[in-house]
Amino acid sequence: MGLLLVGFLFSLLVSGVFAFVERGDSRERLRYFIKAFGCFFLSILLAGWLMRQLPF
Amino acid sequence: MVAKAAGKANLTSVLLASWICPGAGHVLLGKRYRAALYFAAVGGLFWLGLALQAYFVFPNTPGETFALFKFLGAFASGGHFFIAYILQLGMGNLDTFKAALTNEVGNTCLYTAGILNVLVLVDAWDLHSGRKK
């Protein structure tokens, strides 16, 4: 299984739970989910890219 | 029927059900869709972690830093932890697990599942006490 897919699944599941725990209104929840998912997934991509630059 | 059950469910049974089977507490409170999401998220991350060569750490495991916290992170997943423990998954020679490329990602998923289940418990508590709808 590709680690990119794992990162995608991780972001999807965690953002889903966060959205339901943090927001009550369904419209607000969707906005929060999209924001959290984007932040998680972009952070994973950025951290992965940064770690590729390390010499060890 | 579900609304009637929600009125009768006491806090201890809601929290215990939620810990043993993530989302079960929300079923008792009549939040079925939310329960399905929580069950899928906690279970999905837990078993994904084990599939990626995560391993269980116990408080007496030698050579592990923060062993107690790692144990609690996995233990918080409740029923999933016990099923994996009975099936002897994530246990054995730790060097074999550590040699796997995906081990650290797997461990991250495993501990995240446990921590998410704690959030699910708090959410169930809030719903039960009426602080949340």
What number is the ipTM of this complex? 0.88
Residues 78-97 of B with CB under 8 A from A: none
Mutate which: A1, A3, A9, A17, vs B, most B CBs within 10 A: A17
Dihedral sign from CA coordinates of B27, B29, B32, B38: negative
Give the pLDDT means over successive 10-residue stretches in chain A (56 positions). 89 95 91 97 94 86
Q: Give the pLDDT band (50/70/90) at residue B7.
A: low
Query: Which residue of chain A is at minimal alpha-carbon distance from B132?
Result: A24
Q: What percentage of chain B exceeds 70 in pLDDT? A: 94
pLDDT score at B4? 46
Q: Do A24 and B133 touch (CB under 8 A)?
A: yes
Long-range CB contact pairs, B18-22, < 8 A, 24+: B18/B117, B18/B120, B18/B121, B18/B124, B19/B76, B19/B78, B19/B79, B19/B117, B19/B121, B20/B78, B20/B79, B21/B78, B21/B79, B22/B77, B22/B78, B22/B79, B22/B80, B22/B116, B22/B117, B22/B120
Question: Rounded to two decimals, what is the model's pTM?
Answer: 0.89
